[in-house]
């Protein structure tokens, strides 16, 4: 029986159905890989090995008895360490909260567990989910698996989930996205991240950074796995999961979805001035491949200047981060990341009228964006402007999320998929943005592109 560490959620569900593997074998393989590799990669904050083995044994018995609860039954997954599970510690990436016991289980976690998923553990995050680079000075920065010699940005804030999925430590994981926190680690770690429409998935039991912008979202190695996990997180029943899984398996093995005739928006020349040349080359190649697939592509005129939307997103989430975490950051004795303290405390100086004005302006821009998307299937951009950066060269004052934050500001959805590798064998991501509640279109385009480009493969050297 195969124990391929890069076998995804759909492939595992198929293997269980065919008798090629069992949940106990899959969990044993995952735990062994974590035991061997995570001392180097540092993706996990906590691993629940004993409970995972018990859950896997129960799943084996249920399947043998004909009581499989659905196609997600027995699938290992991880949660970003913002998501509460009753009785478990949730730290939000903060040494100050290192002993915080979760009072209840978040709806997102409850749905995944109720569908039969096996929780492997909690993955690391930047402190209070602030910061796009993925660094955490007190709790540890996960190691980007694409360069085992030089520590590079894993992407934040869902850094641990990004590394765990890319390195084959789990087939899928939950992240949260406030300004790119699922999509940037997915792009820099060479995997897939679906940023879900604001408000579509419940956020109860998730420690907030910005209650307006926070969005729990799936992180996987393939677009079809992202669609599968999204259905589970959305609370789909077993029957719907089975029907949708059948369609996704056709996408994977027989007929990828067609995007012929779809109209896509691209970035204008002036929007690409600061993009690293190799990422720009990958983006240009991605546009050519989308054209070969039959899409029509023309420059997109945003409803407001991108800089205005980036500033609006930053103002709102900084004000809200201070509301949630200001007292801890105000305490000079608190064991907190000084870069994060500085960012959160900026919210103290934002007047109420400025915050309210930003929220009102946002609503008008959301309406204008919906209007602009009536004849477009999606907008495609690079996910981030650079390949992963060596941590030694990092400027914590810089912002890597210029292509992602406007998506949160406009309350919509987007998908990050790998678009290729640079000359240094580092990944770059394609960013597919659609109208609100049109995740299916982003996934359709992503699946077609993924099939055309092919897999970039796993990070080298992890065996």
Known catalytic residues are 80, 157, 181
The encoded tokens of residue 18 equal 């065919």
Burial (0-12, 13-18, 19+ Cβ within 10 Å), 74: buried
Alpha helices in 204-346 (DSSP H): 223-233, 238-253, 277-292, 306-330, 338-345
The encoded tokens of residue 101 equal 């016991």
- CA-nearest of 427, 401, 426 to 414 is 401
Q: What is the DSSP letter of 138?
A: T
Q: What is the DSSP letter of 152?
A: B
Burial (0-12, 13-18, 19+ Cβ within 10 Å), 311: middle
Put the strands of the sheet holding 192-195 in their side by side order: 44-47, 118-123, 76-80, 172-177, 215-220, 192-195, 413-421, 427-434, 378-382, 263-266, 296-299
- CA-nearest of 80, 168, 163 to 121 is 80
- The rounded distance, in Å, linking the Cα atoms of 146 and 140 is 18
**Rounded-to-5 percentages of helix, strand, coil across the chain:** 45, 15, 40
- CA-nearest of 337, 284, 420 to 135 is 337
Helix or strand run (H / E) with residue 30: helix 23-41
């Amino acid at each position: 029986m195969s124990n391929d560490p890069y076998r995804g959620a759909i492939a595992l569900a198929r293997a269980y159905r065919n008798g090629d593997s069992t949940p106990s074998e899959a969990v044993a393989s995952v735990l062994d890989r974590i035991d061997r590799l995570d001392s180097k990669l540092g993706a996990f904050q906590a691993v629940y090995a004993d409970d995972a083995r018990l859950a896997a044994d129960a799943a084996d018995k249920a399947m043998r008895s004909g009581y499989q609860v659905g196609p997600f039954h027995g699938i290992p997954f991880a949660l970003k360490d913002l998501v509460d599970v009753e009785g478990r510690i949730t730290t939000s990436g903060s040494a100050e909260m290192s002993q915080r016991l979760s009072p209840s289980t978040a709806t997102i976690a409850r749905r995944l567990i109720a569908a039969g998923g096996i929780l492997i553990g909690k993955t690391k995050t930047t402190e209070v989910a602030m910061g796009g680079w993925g660094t955490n000075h007190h709790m540890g920065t996960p190691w980007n698996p694409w360069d085992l010699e030089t520590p590079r940005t894993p992407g934040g804030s869902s850094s641990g989930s990004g590394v765990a999925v890319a390195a084959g430590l789990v087939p899928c994981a939950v992240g949260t996205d406030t300004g790119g926190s699922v999509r940037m680690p997915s792009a820099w770690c060479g995997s897939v991240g679906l940023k879900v429409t604001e408000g579509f998935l419940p956020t109860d039991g998730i420690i907030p950074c910005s209650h307006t912008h926070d969005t729990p979202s799936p992180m996987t190695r393939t677009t079809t796995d992202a669609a599968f996990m999204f259905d589970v997180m959305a609370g789909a029943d077993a029957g719907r999961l089975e029907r949708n899984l059948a369609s996704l398996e056709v996408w994977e093995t027989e007929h990828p979805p067609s995007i012929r005739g779809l109209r896509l928006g691209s970035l204008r020349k002036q929007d690409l001035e600061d993009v690293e040349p190799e990422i720009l080359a990958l983006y240009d190649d991605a546009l050519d491949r989308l054209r070969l697939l039959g899409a029509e592509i023309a420059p997109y005129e945003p409803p407001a200047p991108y800089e205005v939307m980036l500033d609006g997103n930053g103002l709102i989430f900084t004000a809200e981060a201070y509301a949630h975490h200001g007292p801890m950051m105000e305490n000079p004795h608190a064991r907190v990341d000084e870069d994060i303290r500085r960012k959160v405390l900026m919210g103290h100086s934002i007047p109420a009228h400025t915050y309210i004005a930003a929220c009102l302006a946002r609503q008008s821009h959301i309406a204008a964006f919906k209007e602009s998307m009536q004849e477009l299937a999606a907008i495609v951009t690079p996910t981030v402007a650079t390949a992963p950066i060596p941590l030694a060269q990092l400027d914590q004052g810089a912002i890597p999320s210029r292509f992602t934050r406007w998506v949160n500001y406009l309350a919509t959805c987007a998908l990050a998929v790998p678009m290729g590798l640079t000359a240094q064998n580092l990944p770059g991501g394609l960013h597919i943005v659609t109208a609100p509640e049109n995740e299916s279109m982003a996934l359709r385009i992503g699946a077609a592109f993924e099939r055309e480009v092919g897999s970039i493969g796993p990070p080298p050297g992890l065996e």
